[in-house]
Amino acid sequence: MKNIIITGANGFIGSHLAEGLSKNHHVIAIVNKKTDFLNGLNVEVIEWDITSKKVIKGLPEIDIVYHLASLTDMKKFHGNVSYGKKVNVDGTENVIKCIGNTAKKFVYLSTLGVYGNAKHFPVSELEHPAPLEPYAMSKLEAENLTAALCQQYGLNFVIARLFNCYGERQKHNSLIPSLIIQTLNSNEVHIGNMKPTRDFIYVRDAVSALELLGKQKCTGIYNVGTGIETSIAELMSKIIKTSGKKIKIIQDSSKFKEESIEVLRSCADISKIRVLGWSPKSLLMEGIAKTYSYYENLLWK
Protein backbone atom coordinates (compact mmCIF):
# COMPACT_ATOMS: atom_id res chain seq x y z
CA MET A 1 0.00 0.00 0.00
CA LYS A 2 1.39 3.40 -1.05
CA ASN A 3 0.79 6.80 0.49
CA ILE A 4 -0.56 9.00 -2.31
CA ILE A 5 -1.46 12.69 -2.32
CA ILE A 6 -3.95 14.06 -4.86
CA THR A 7 -4.45 17.82 -5.06
CA GLY A 8 -7.78 18.80 -6.55
CA ALA A 9 -9.11 15.43 -5.46
CA ASN A 10 -12.65 16.80 -5.19
CA GLY A 11 -12.77 17.80 -8.87
CA PHE A 12 -13.88 16.02 -12.03
CA ILE A 13 -10.73 14.03 -12.78
CA GLY A 14 -9.33 14.08 -9.25
CA SER A 15 -12.37 12.37 -7.75
CA HIS A 16 -12.18 9.56 -10.31
CA LEU A 17 -8.45 9.16 -9.59
CA ALA A 18 -9.11 9.11 -5.84
CA GLU A 19 -11.87 6.54 -6.31
CA GLY A 20 -9.56 4.20 -8.21
CA LEU A 21 -6.43 4.56 -6.09
CA SER A 22 -8.20 4.43 -2.70
CA LYS A 23 -9.16 0.81 -3.28
CA ASN A 24 -5.56 -0.33 -2.75
CA HIS A 25 -3.68 2.67 -1.33
CA HIS A 26 -3.81 5.31 1.37
CA VAL A 27 -5.02 8.43 -0.46
CA ILE A 28 -4.69 11.90 1.04
CA ALA A 29 -7.13 14.15 -0.78
CA ILE A 30 -6.04 17.79 -0.76
CA VAL A 31 -9.07 19.99 -1.40
CA ASN A 32 -9.83 23.71 -1.31
CA LYS A 33 -13.38 22.97 -0.29
CA LYS A 34 -15.33 19.76 0.21
CA THR A 35 -17.70 18.36 -2.42
CA ASP A 36 -19.93 15.29 -2.59
CA PHE A 37 -17.63 13.59 -5.10
CA LEU A 38 -15.49 12.09 -2.31
CA ASN A 39 -18.43 10.86 -0.22
CA GLY A 40 -18.15 7.17 0.57
CA LEU A 41 -14.50 6.90 -0.46
CA ASN A 42 -11.85 5.60 1.91
CA VAL A 43 -9.67 8.71 1.71
CA GLU A 44 -8.13 11.15 4.19
CA VAL A 45 -9.37 14.65 3.35
CA ILE A 46 -7.26 17.73 4.14
CA GLU A 47 -8.50 21.22 3.32
CA TRP A 48 -5.58 23.33 2.06
CA ASP A 49 -5.36 26.23 -0.38
CA ILE A 50 -2.52 25.49 -2.80
CA THR A 51 -1.68 29.20 -2.98
CA SER A 52 -0.88 29.10 0.74
CA LYS A 53 2.76 28.55 1.69
CA LYS A 54 1.72 26.89 4.91
CA VAL A 55 3.35 23.47 5.23
CA ILE A 56 1.01 20.59 6.02
CA LYS A 57 2.46 18.86 9.08
CA GLY A 58 2.19 15.25 10.13
CA LEU A 59 2.19 13.72 6.66
CA PRO A 60 3.53 10.18 6.30
CA GLU A 61 6.31 9.39 3.83
CA ILE A 62 4.69 10.06 0.44
CA ASP A 63 5.21 7.79 -2.56
CA ILE A 64 3.37 9.80 -5.25
CA VAL A 65 1.96 13.31 -5.48
CA TYR A 66 -0.63 13.87 -8.22
CA HIS A 67 -0.99 17.60 -8.72
CA LEU A 68 -4.36 18.17 -10.40
CA ALA A 69 -5.54 21.32 -8.59
CA SER A 70 -5.84 24.16 -11.09
CA LEU A 71 -8.09 27.01 -12.19
CA THR A 72 -9.57 25.46 -15.32
CA ASP A 73 -12.62 27.68 -15.84
CA MET A 74 -11.64 29.70 -18.92
CA LYS A 75 -14.04 32.59 -18.21
CA LYS A 76 -12.80 32.96 -14.65
CA PHE A 77 -9.18 32.65 -15.74
CA HIS A 78 -9.39 35.18 -18.56
CA GLY A 79 -11.42 37.49 -16.33
CA ASN A 80 -8.61 37.56 -13.77
CA VAL A 81 -5.37 36.35 -15.34
CA SER A 82 -3.20 37.37 -12.40
CA TYR A 83 -5.28 35.22 -10.04
CA GLY A 84 -5.28 32.37 -12.56
CA LYS A 85 -1.48 32.44 -12.71
CA LYS A 86 -1.33 32.59 -8.91
CA VAL A 87 -3.30 29.33 -8.73
CA ASN A 88 -1.76 27.49 -11.67
CA VAL A 89 1.86 28.63 -11.43
CA ASP A 90 2.48 29.84 -7.88
CA GLY A 91 0.21 27.08 -6.60
CA THR A 92 2.33 24.47 -8.36
CA GLU A 93 5.47 25.90 -6.76
CA ASN A 94 3.83 25.76 -3.32
CA VAL A 95 2.69 22.18 -3.79
CA ILE A 96 6.18 21.01 -4.72
CA LYS A 97 7.91 22.96 -1.95
CA CYS A 98 5.35 22.30 0.79
CA ILE A 99 4.22 18.72 0.23
CA GLY A 100 6.07 17.32 -2.78
CA ASN A 101 9.79 17.78 -2.31
CA THR A 102 10.18 14.72 -0.07
CA ALA A 103 7.97 12.45 -2.18
CA LYS A 104 9.32 9.73 -4.42
CA LYS A 105 7.42 10.90 -7.52
CA PHE A 106 5.52 13.98 -8.69
CA VAL A 107 2.90 13.82 -11.47
CA TYR A 108 1.72 17.12 -12.91
CA LEU A 109 -1.48 17.25 -14.97
CA SER A 110 -1.08 19.59 -17.92
CA THR A 111 -3.10 20.17 -21.09
CA LEU A 112 -3.06 19.75 -24.84
CA GLY A 113 -3.49 23.54 -24.98
CA VAL A 114 0.25 24.02 -24.59
CA TYR A 115 0.66 22.86 -28.21
CA GLY A 116 -1.64 25.57 -29.63
CA ASN A 117 -2.15 25.09 -33.36
CA ALA A 118 0.44 22.40 -33.89
CA LYS A 119 2.28 21.94 -37.17
CA HIS A 120 2.44 18.15 -37.15
CA PHE A 121 -0.29 15.53 -36.60
CA PRO A 122 -0.77 13.48 -34.60
CA VAL A 123 0.94 15.78 -32.10
CA SER A 124 3.92 14.22 -30.35
CA GLU A 125 5.65 15.35 -27.17
CA LEU A 126 8.46 16.72 -29.38
CA GLU A 127 6.14 19.37 -30.87
CA HIS A 128 7.29 22.88 -29.97
CA PRO A 129 4.79 24.36 -27.47
CA ALA A 130 2.94 27.43 -28.75
CA PRO A 131 -0.02 28.18 -26.41
CA LEU A 132 -2.61 30.59 -27.79
CA GLU A 133 -4.17 32.01 -24.63
CA PRO A 134 -3.32 32.81 -20.98
CA TYR A 135 -4.66 29.59 -19.43
CA ALA A 136 -2.53 27.37 -21.67
CA MET A 137 0.44 29.69 -21.13
CA SER A 138 0.07 29.26 -17.36
CA LYS A 139 0.05 25.48 -17.72
CA LEU A 140 3.23 25.56 -19.80
CA GLU A 141 4.87 27.84 -17.25
CA ALA A 142 3.84 25.42 -14.51
CA GLU A 143 5.30 22.54 -16.55
CA ASN A 144 8.65 24.29 -16.77
CA LEU A 145 8.56 25.13 -13.08
CA THR A 146 7.75 21.51 -12.24
CA ALA A 147 10.72 20.26 -14.25
CA ALA A 148 13.11 22.81 -12.74
CA LEU A 149 12.05 22.32 -9.10
CA CYS A 150 11.88 18.54 -9.32
CA GLN A 151 15.37 18.44 -10.79
CA GLN A 152 16.54 20.75 -8.01
CA TYR A 153 15.12 18.41 -5.35
CA GLY A 154 16.17 15.24 -7.17
CA LEU A 155 12.50 14.29 -7.49
CA ASN A 156 11.29 11.94 -10.21
CA PHE A 157 8.52 13.67 -12.16
CA VAL A 158 6.07 13.14 -15.00
CA ILE A 159 4.13 15.78 -16.92
CA ALA A 160 0.91 14.35 -18.37
CA ARG A 161 -0.48 16.43 -21.23
CA LEU A 162 -4.14 15.48 -21.17
CA PHE A 163 -6.24 15.90 -24.30
CA ASN A 164 -10.01 16.53 -24.25
CA CYS A 165 -11.20 14.57 -21.24
CA TYR A 166 -14.93 14.01 -20.66
CA GLY A 167 -17.20 11.88 -18.52
CA GLU A 168 -19.26 11.77 -15.37
CA ARG A 169 -18.90 14.68 -12.88
CA GLN A 170 -17.53 17.13 -15.44
CA LYS A 171 -18.66 20.74 -15.06
CA HIS A 172 -21.93 21.45 -16.84
CA ASN A 173 -20.43 24.26 -18.92
CA SER A 174 -17.82 21.97 -20.49
CA LEU A 175 -18.41 21.03 -24.12
CA ILE A 176 -19.84 17.51 -23.92
CA PRO A 177 -21.96 18.00 -20.75
CA SER A 178 -23.38 21.26 -22.13
CA LEU A 179 -24.42 19.56 -25.37
CA ILE A 180 -25.89 16.56 -23.54
CA ILE A 181 -27.85 18.76 -21.14
CA GLN A 182 -29.27 20.77 -24.04
CA THR A 183 -30.50 17.57 -25.73
CA LEU A 184 -32.07 16.45 -22.46
CA ASN A 185 -33.89 19.75 -21.93
CA SER A 186 -34.86 20.66 -25.49
CA ASN A 187 -35.17 19.59 -29.10
CA GLU A 188 -32.73 22.35 -30.06
CA VAL A 189 -28.99 22.56 -29.48
CA HIS A 190 -27.11 25.84 -29.72
CA ILE A 191 -23.51 25.23 -30.66
CA GLY A 192 -20.45 27.17 -31.83
CA ASN A 193 -17.91 26.27 -34.50
CA MET A 194 -18.38 22.64 -35.57
CA LYS A 195 -15.32 22.37 -37.81
CA PRO A 196 -12.49 22.05 -35.25
CA THR A 197 -11.36 18.56 -34.28
CA ARG A 198 -10.58 17.19 -30.86
CA ASP A 199 -9.10 14.05 -29.32
CA PHE A 200 -11.77 13.03 -26.80
CA ILE A 201 -10.66 10.69 -24.01
CA TYR A 202 -13.05 9.15 -21.50
CA VAL A 203 -12.21 10.00 -17.89
CA ARG A 204 -11.66 6.43 -16.73
CA ASP A 205 -9.09 5.92 -19.49
CA ALA A 206 -7.38 9.15 -18.46
CA VAL A 207 -7.27 7.95 -14.86
CA SER A 208 -5.78 4.58 -15.82
CA ALA A 209 -3.03 6.46 -17.68
CA LEU A 210 -2.30 8.64 -14.65
CA GLU A 211 -2.18 5.58 -12.39
CA LEU A 212 0.33 3.93 -14.73
CA LEU A 213 2.51 7.04 -15.04
CA GLY A 214 2.61 7.24 -11.26
CA LYS A 215 3.77 3.69 -10.63
CA GLN A 216 6.06 3.18 -13.62
CA LYS A 217 9.75 4.10 -13.52
CA CYS A 218 9.32 6.80 -16.15
CA THR A 219 9.97 10.51 -16.29
CA GLY A 220 9.38 13.44 -18.65
CA ILE A 221 6.38 14.43 -20.76
CA TYR A 222 3.63 12.05 -21.89
CA ASN A 223 0.56 12.70 -24.03
CA VAL A 224 -2.66 11.18 -22.69
CA GLY A 225 -5.28 10.87 -25.43
CA THR A 226 -6.69 8.34 -27.88
CA GLY A 227 -4.97 9.19 -31.15
CA ILE A 228 -8.39 9.56 -32.77
CA GLU A 229 -9.42 12.89 -34.29
CA THR A 230 -13.13 13.79 -34.12
CA SER A 231 -14.79 16.95 -35.37
CA ILE A 232 -17.31 18.78 -33.19
CA ALA A 233 -19.89 18.01 -35.90
CA GLU A 234 -19.17 14.28 -35.56
CA LEU A 235 -19.35 14.57 -31.79
CA MET A 236 -22.76 16.24 -32.00
CA SER A 237 -23.99 13.49 -34.30
CA LYS A 238 -22.99 10.84 -31.75
CA ILE A 239 -24.71 12.70 -28.91
CA ILE A 240 -27.92 13.02 -30.95
CA LYS A 241 -27.79 9.31 -31.82
CA THR A 242 -27.38 8.47 -28.14
CA SER A 243 -30.33 10.68 -27.19
CA GLY A 244 -32.66 8.95 -29.64
CA LYS A 245 -34.32 12.32 -30.26
CA LYS A 246 -34.79 14.47 -33.31
CA ILE A 247 -32.60 17.49 -32.55
CA LYS A 248 -32.34 20.76 -34.43
CA ILE A 249 -28.80 22.13 -34.48
CA ILE A 250 -28.46 25.92 -34.34
CA GLN A 251 -25.04 27.42 -34.87
CA ASP A 252 -24.77 30.32 -32.46
CA SER A 253 -22.24 33.03 -33.31
CA SER A 254 -21.99 33.99 -29.62
CA LYS A 255 -20.52 30.56 -28.89
CA PHE A 256 -17.70 30.87 -31.43
CA LYS A 257 -14.22 31.39 -29.96
CA GLU A 258 -12.03 34.20 -31.21
CA GLU A 259 -10.03 32.95 -34.20
CA SER A 260 -6.77 33.97 -32.53
CA ILE A 261 -7.26 31.50 -29.66
CA GLU A 262 -9.15 28.68 -31.44
CA VAL A 263 -7.28 25.38 -31.67
CA LEU A 264 -8.34 24.08 -35.09
CA ARG A 265 -7.08 20.51 -34.87
CA SER A 266 -6.23 18.23 -31.97
CA CYS A 267 -5.02 14.65 -32.10
CA ALA A 268 -2.47 13.04 -29.78
CA ASP A 269 0.44 10.85 -30.73
CA ILE A 270 0.29 8.33 -27.87
CA SER A 271 3.08 6.02 -29.04
CA LYS A 272 5.28 7.07 -26.08
CA ILE A 273 2.79 6.05 -23.39
CA ARG A 274 1.83 2.92 -25.35
CA VAL A 275 5.40 1.69 -24.82
CA LEU A 276 4.62 1.60 -21.08
CA GLY A 277 1.72 -0.78 -21.78
CA TRP A 278 -1.18 1.67 -21.73
CA SER A 279 -3.91 2.17 -24.32
CA PRO A 280 -7.42 3.67 -24.14
CA LYS A 281 -10.25 1.16 -23.74
CA SER A 282 -13.43 3.18 -24.36
CA LEU A 283 -14.65 4.12 -27.81
CA LEU A 284 -16.18 7.59 -28.03
CA MET A 285 -19.70 6.24 -28.56
CA GLU A 286 -19.39 4.09 -25.41
CA GLY A 287 -18.07 6.95 -23.31
CA ILE A 288 -20.79 9.30 -24.51
CA ALA A 289 -23.48 6.73 -23.64
CA LYS A 290 -22.15 6.46 -20.06
CA THR A 291 -21.84 10.23 -19.74
CA TYR A 292 -25.31 10.80 -21.19
CA SER A 293 -26.81 8.35 -18.71
CA TYR A 294 -25.07 10.11 -15.82
CA TYR A 295 -26.46 13.55 -16.68
CA GLU A 296 -29.89 12.10 -17.47
CA ASN A 297 -30.03 10.56 -13.99
CA LEU A 298 -28.67 13.73 -12.45
CA LEU A 299 -31.34 15.89 -14.03
CA TRP A 300 -34.30 13.57 -13.74
CA LYS A 301 -33.73 11.44 -10.63
Per-residue pLDDT reduced to its tens digit, 184-235 = 999 999 999 999 999 999 999 999 999 999 999 999 999 999 999 999 999 9
pLDDT of residue 102: 86
252 CB-near residues (< 8 Å, 6+ apart): 190, 191, 192
Helix, strand, coil % (nearest 5) of the chain? 40, 20, 40
What CATH number does domain 3-166+200-228 carry, 1.10.1750.10, 3.40.50.10490, 3.40.50.2000, 3.40.50.720? Answer: 3.40.50.720
Q: Report yes or no on whether pTM surpasses 0.75.
A: yes
The closest alpha carbon to 66, from 129, 150, 142, 8, belongs to: 8
In the chain, CATH 3.40.50.720 sits at 3-166+200-228
pLDDT of residue 74: 86
pLDDT of residue 35: 78
C-alpha span between 204 and 17 (Å, rounded): 8
C-alpha span between 21 and 23 (Å, rounded): 5
What's the sign of the alpha-carbon dihedral 152, 155, 156, 161?
negative
Output the CATH code of domain 175-197+230-266+283-300: 3.90.25.10
- Kind plus residue range of the DSSP H or E element containing 285: helix 284-300
In the chain, CATH 3.90.25.10 sits at 175-197+230-266+283-300
Per-residue pLDDT reduced to its tens digit, 26-52 = 999 999 987 789 999 999 999 999 999
Position 301 pLDDT exceeds 70: no
Let me know how many helices (H) and strands (E) the chain has, helices first. Answer: 10, 13
Per the CB < 8 A criterion, the answer to whether 91 and 77 are in contact is no
